[in-house]
Structure 1
C-alpha cells in the first residue's frame, strides 16, 4: 500500500475507533451499569457523571502508560541487567552504572552536557530577549522577527548540514566555501582552520547551531510577554527620568521574570536531549561527545544494552528535576 494511503487509513481507523469507543462506553454506563430509572435513578445519574470523565481519560492514560511509563520501567530494568552468551539476560544490579562511571567517554559526555547547559540556555534566552526588545522598536520589526524565527522551521539535522558548510575547510590553494574560513583567509590567515576539530572550542561552535535555532523560539515567547507589560509602568518610569536601559532592566525584565525562567527551562530540557547536531556534525569525535550520543553508541554500535540503558536513565534523572520545577511553577502561576 502507498504510504500516503496507509497513513490516511490509519487516521480514519483511529478516528472511527475513538468515536465507536466513546459511543459504546457511554451506552454501557447509561443503560447497563447505571440506568437512570428505578428507585435509585438520581443516585445512578450521579454515579454515571462521576464515571464519565474517566471514559475520556482512559485512552490518554493508556497511551501514556504504553508510550511513556512502560518504556521508562523497561529501560530501568535493562540498566540493571546484561546479555549473556546464548541470548539470555542476567541480573547485574548496578554493575552497568559502575562500568559506565569508569569510562572516560562518559565523563567527557557529562562534562560537555554541563557546558552546553551553561552556555546554550543563557545564549538563546539572552539573544531572544534582545531580539524581542529591539524588533518591537523598529518599523520593519515583523519582518525581522520572521527572519529570526525561520531557523525554528528547520530540523536539527538540516540546520547541522547548513552549519557544517559554514565551517567547511578546503586546502589553502582552493577557494573556501565555508563562510568562517573565507573571512579568515580574506583577513590574512595563513591556512584555513578546521573549526570542528579544535578541542574545547569545537563544542562552542556546535552550541552556536542550537542557539541559532532556539533564539527564534525565545524571541516569540518573550516578545508576547513584553507586549503584556502595562504601559502605565513604562510611562511612569519615563516621567521619572529613567533611561531606556533602566526601563528595560529595572521595569520590564522584572515583570517578565517568570516567562524568562519558563523559556530558560524549556531550552535547558532541549539541551539535555541534544543528539542530532553532534551526531551530524562530528559524530562525537574530537571530544564533542554528549550523553545522548554516548547512549546511542552503546545501544546501537556496541550493542551494550545495559550500559546504554543506564546512560538513558542518567539523562532522565537530569531532566526530571527541571520538569518538576517547571510544572510546579506553572501551577503556582495558575493559582
Structure 2
C-alpha cells in the first residue's frame, strides 16, 4: 500500500513538474515574442498560441496512430514483423466477416432511418402549437449515454424461457395477449436490427433538430409562390423543402454514419457482441484486450480509421460549402 502511494505521489510530482516546465517555456517564448518586431514576431506568436495544441495533438493522436499502424504489422505480442497477415486475417476470419457485415448493415440502416424519422417529424411539427414540447420529446434520448440506452433497451427486449414470467416490456405485453415471447437479442440476424433501432432512437432527435432548423430557413416567399401555383403539401415537401435542405441532409447523414462506424457501447452492453452481433469496434476490443492479439486488434482499428476518414473529410467539405452558400 505504501509503495502504491509513493508511486502515485511520484507520478503526481512528475506531472506537476512537466506542467510547470511547459508553462515556463510558453512564458519565455511569449516574452521573447513581445520583444520581437516585424516578420520575426508572427512565428513566435504562433508558437505560443498553437504550440500547446499541436503538442497535445501529436502526443494524443498522431503518435498513437503511427504506433497502431506499426503494431498492425506485428504478431500478437508485437514482437515479430509479419507483414499484412493481420489484414488478411481481418478480412477472411469468420468472426471478422460477421463484424464487417454487421457494421455495414449498421451504417446503411441507422443514418437512413434516423434521418427519415427526424425529417418527417420535423415537417409534421413545424409551426405547430406543441412544437417545443414535441421536439423535446424526441430529443430527450440524446441526453442518455449509449451505455444507459443499452441497459434501458435490454430490459425492453429481455426474454425468459417459455412458461416463465417475462420482465421484458415487449415480451410481457405479448404474454398478456396470449402470444409467445420473442428472443429479440438471441436470434440472428434479427437481433442486429433490434440493436440498430436503439441507436436510431437516439440519433433521430439529433437529425430532427438540425433538419428543423434547416426547414425554418427555407424562404417563405418560395413556399407561398408554390402554393399560389397550386402545389399541394407533398409537392411542396418534394420540390421545395427537400432541395432547399439538401446540404443539411448530407451533413446529418454523414455525421450519423461516422458515429455508427464507431459503435461499441450498445452491442457490448446488450449482447456482449455475442449471437452474431459483432461489429468492428467490438472486434477490435476483443482481439486487443480479451484475446491479447495486439496485431489483429490494431489492424481492425486501422480498418475503422480508413472507413471513418473519407466520411469526416466529406462532412467537413460539405459544412464549408454550406457556410459559403449562407455567406
Fold-level match, TM-score > 0.5? yes
Instruction: Measure, in 2, the Cα distance between the counterparts of 1:250 and 1:101.
Output: 43
Alignment correspondent of 2:62: 69
Q: How far apart are 1:173 and its partner, in Å?
A: 3.7
Alignment correspondent of 2:255: 266
Q: 1:33-68: per-residue Cα shift (whole Å, max 9, x none)? A: x2xxxxxxxxx3342135413421111111111111
1:193 to 167, 172, 182: 182
Instruction: Measure, in 2, the Cα distance between the counterparts of 1:311 and 1:89.
Output: 18
The 3-state SS of whatever aligns with 2:253 is helix
Q: 1:235-276: per-residue Cα shift (whole Å, max 9, x none)? A: 111111111111112101110100010010000001100000
Alignment correspondent of 2:209: 220
Instruction: Measure, in 2, the Cα distance between the counterparts of 1:135 and 1:159.
Output: 25
Alignment correspondent of 2:94: 104
Tell me how many residue pairs correspond in the alignment.
310
Counterpart contact for 2:74–2:295, Cα < 8 Å = yes
Q: 1:288-307: per-residue Cα shift (whole Å, max 9, x none)? A: 11011111110011100000
Q: 1:171-206: per-residue Cα shift (whole Å, max 9, x none)? A: 4444433222123223431x2111111111111000
Alignment correspondent of 2:290: 301
**Residues 13, 132 of structure 1: alpha-carbon distance in 2 compared, 3 angstrom cutoff:** farther
Counterpart contact for 2:113–2:200, Cα < 8 Å = yes
Q: 1:104-147: per-residue Cα shift (whole Å, max 9, x none)? A: 00000000011111100000111111121122242111111111
Alignment correspondent of 1:41: none
**Residues 15, 310 of structure 1: alpha-carbon distance in 2 compared, 3 angstrom cutoff:** closer
1:89 to 79, 97, 107: 79
Q: How far apart are 1:319 and its partner, in Å?
A: 0.8
Alignment correspondent of 2:29: 25
- 1:206 aligned onto 2:210: no
**Residues 15, 81 of structure 1: alpha-carbon distance in 2 compared, 3 angstrom cutoff:** closer
- 1:55 aligned onto 2:51: no
**Residues 300, 54 of structure 1: alpha-carbon distance in 2 compared, 3 angstrom cutoff:** same
Instruction: Measure, in 2, the Cα distance between the counterparts of 1:92 and 1:173.
Output: 53
**Residues 25, 50 of structure 1: alpha-carbon distance in 2 compared, 3 angstrom cutoff:** closer
Gaps of 5+ in 2: 6-15
Q: How far apart are 1:161 and its partner, in Å?
A: 0.4
- 1:332 aligned onto 2:321: yes
Alignment correspondent of 2:122: 132
**Residues 46, 107 of structure 1: alpha-carbon distance in 2 compared, 3 angstrom cutoff:** same
Instruction: Measure, in 2, the Cα distance between the counterparts of 1:253 and 1:280.
Output: 37
Instruction: Measure, in 1, the Cα distance between the counterparts of 2:273 and 2:45.
Output: 51
The 3-state SS of whatever aligns with 2:80 is strand
Counterpart contact for 2:107–2:260, Cα < 8 Å = yes
Q: 1:198-248: per-residue Cα shift (whole Å, max 9, x none)? A: 111111000000000001111111111111111111111111111111111
Q: 1:62-87: per-residue Cα shift (whole Å, max 9, x none)? A: 11111111111000000011256xxx
Alignment correspondent of 1:5: none
Alignment correspondent of 1:165: 155
The TM-score normalised by the length of structure 1 is 0.86
